[in-house]
């Protein structure tokens, strides 16, 4: 009986020991599982599709973040707007009022790329920009003012030199002819856009171009004014250059332009005059003149012809006798040719 009780006690001890071991073994396993779960795995998982609800949820979180940030800045709004307002006022002051950026007469530079444009007139033409802010000047307005005073100006280059300098470079149309009026003891340069400019020392290489225009007789100031349109001047230049190329051995004494008739008369040193009109094709008139000259033993240099009229295409009128020829010219051009 006693031995039976001892067996029961030993069994109970064994069972209890097993349970204790099992408990501690399970606790250790749980710790290992927990530690494993807390680790970050390096391998990439398959991308999951974002559901519509998740997108809405993320947007809602972002908007909530913005709202909360704006609410946190409520106490700083006045300071924020005050700083920005101060910066805007200071910028406007610097641009519009501050003398540091204003152009003074001593800070304006005008240079010319030719010898016929008057720099003093150019300074006078743009006096209104003095003491204006360098940021507010209108380049197109300056260009128009310069050209208004001097029609011969072809190009204007304006450069801002900060903080308050302005540099202007002007260039004129090229001089093409010289001219002189009988009632004025002055010589003028005629530019390629037909502007008259007074010049004391005329380049001797320029051909003399006399201008027959009633408006010029009535006018007393010619300088830097455009008397004829630029297209007409291009035709006159074309006649000059073409005649020089075709008749290389013929010396030209001068040209005479009749504005009302729109004709150009070429005076040769042989006293022969060529009458050309500028309405029709100039090339054909010069070609007819060359054909006639080549077939008549260089008649342009014979000193026997008073004038040759090539105004009518395919017809050439040649006048030789001096007295009747000048009478004809006087009837047509009484203001220039005398009996």
The pLDDT tens digits along the chain (339 residues) read: 555 566 666 777 777 776 666 666 666 666 666 666 666 544 455 555 544 445 444 555 566 666 666 666 655 666 677 787 788 877 777 767 778 888 999 999 999 999 899 999 999 999 999 999 888 899 999 999 999 999 999 999 999 998 889 999 999 999 999 988 766 777 889 999 888 888 877 877 899 999 888 776 655 556 676 677 788 999 999 999 999 999 987 789 999 999 889 999 999 998 899 999 998 789 999 999 999 999 998 888 888 999 999 998 889 999 999 899 999 999 999 888 875
Note if the bond before 163 is cis, omega within 30 degrees.
Answer: yes
Residue 24 backbone phi and psi in degrees, to 5: -65, -35
Q: What is the CATH number of domain 101-172?
A: 3.10.20.310
- 88: tokens are 């805007």
Specify the pLDDT at position 27. Answer: 61
Contact, 176 vs 191, CB < 8 A?
Answer: yes
Q: Where in the chain is the domain with CATH 3.10.20.310?
A: 101-172
Question: d(Cα 236, Cα 264) in Å, to the nearest integer?
Answer: 7
Q: What's the Cα-to-Cα distance from 196 to each of 146, 185, 193, rounded to whole Å?
A: 16, 14, 9
Q: Which helix (H) or strand (E) holds 253?
A: strand 252-258
Q: Find the helix packing angle between 230-246 and 282-294, rounded to 10°.
A: 20
Considering the domain 175-332, what is its CATH architecture? Answer: 3-Layer(aba) Sandwich (3.40)
Q: Which of 177, 226, 181 is nearest to 335 (CA)?
A: 181
Q: Where in the chain is the domain with CATH 3.40.50?
A: 175-332
Contact, 162 vs 192, CB < 8 A?
Answer: no
Specify the pLDDT at position 88. Answer: 82
- 174: tokens are 């090229």
Residue 255 backbone phi and psi in degrees, to 5: -120, 150
Specify the pLDDT at position 69. Answer: 63
Within 8 A by CB and 6+ apart from 136, the residues are 95, 96
The side-by-side arrangement of strands in the sheet containing 187-191 is 225-226, 195-198, 187-191, 175-180, 207-212, 252-258, 263-268, 273-277, 307-309, 317-319
Specify the pLDDT at position 43. Answer: 47
Specify the pLDDT at position 55. Answer: 47
Specify the pLDDT at position 28. Answer: 62
Q: Which helix (H) or strand (E) holds 11?
A: helix 2-38
């Amino acid at each position: 009986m006693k031995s039976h009780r001892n067996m029961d006690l030993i069994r109970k001890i064994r069972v209890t020991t097993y349970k204790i071991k099992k408990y501690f073994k399970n606790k250790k396993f749980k710790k290992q599982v927990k530690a494993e779960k807390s680790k970050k795995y390096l391998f990439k998982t398959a991308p999951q599709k974002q559901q519509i609800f998740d997108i809405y949820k993320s947007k809602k979180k972002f908007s909530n973040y913005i709202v909360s940030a704006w609410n946190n800045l409520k106490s700083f709004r006045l300071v924020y707007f005050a700083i920005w307002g101060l910066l805007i006022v200071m910028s406007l002051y610097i641009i519009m009022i501050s003398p540091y950026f204003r152009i003074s007469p001593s800070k304006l530079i005008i240079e010319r790329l030719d010898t016929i444009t008057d720099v003093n007139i150019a300074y006078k033409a743009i006096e209104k920009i003095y003491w204006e802010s360098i940021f507010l000047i209108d380049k197109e307005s300056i260009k128009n003012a310069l050209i208004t005073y001097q029609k011969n100006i072809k190009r204007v280059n304006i450069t801002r030199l900060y903080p308050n300098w302005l540099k202007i470079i002007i260039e004129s149309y090229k001089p093409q002819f010289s001219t002189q009026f009988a009632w004025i003891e002055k010589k003028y340069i005629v530019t390629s856009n037909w502007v008259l400019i007074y010049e004391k020392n005329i380049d001797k290489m320029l051909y003399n171009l006399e201008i027959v225009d009633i408006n010029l007789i009535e006018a007393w100031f010619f300088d830097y004014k455009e008397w004829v349109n630029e297209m007409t001047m291009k035709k006159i230049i074309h006649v000059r250059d073409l005649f020089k190329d075709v008749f290389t051995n013929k010396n030209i004494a001068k040209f005479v332009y009749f504005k009302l008739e729109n004709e150009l008369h070429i005076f040769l040193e042989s006293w022969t005059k060529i009458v050309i009109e500028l309405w029709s094709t100039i090339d054909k008139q010069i070609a007819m003149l060359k054909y006639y000259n080549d077939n008549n033993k260089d008649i342009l240099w014979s000193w026997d012809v008073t004038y040759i009229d090539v105004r009518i295409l395919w017809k050439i009128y040649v006048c030789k006798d001096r007295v009747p020829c000048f009478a004809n010219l006087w009837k047509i051009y009484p203001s220039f040719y005398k009996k």
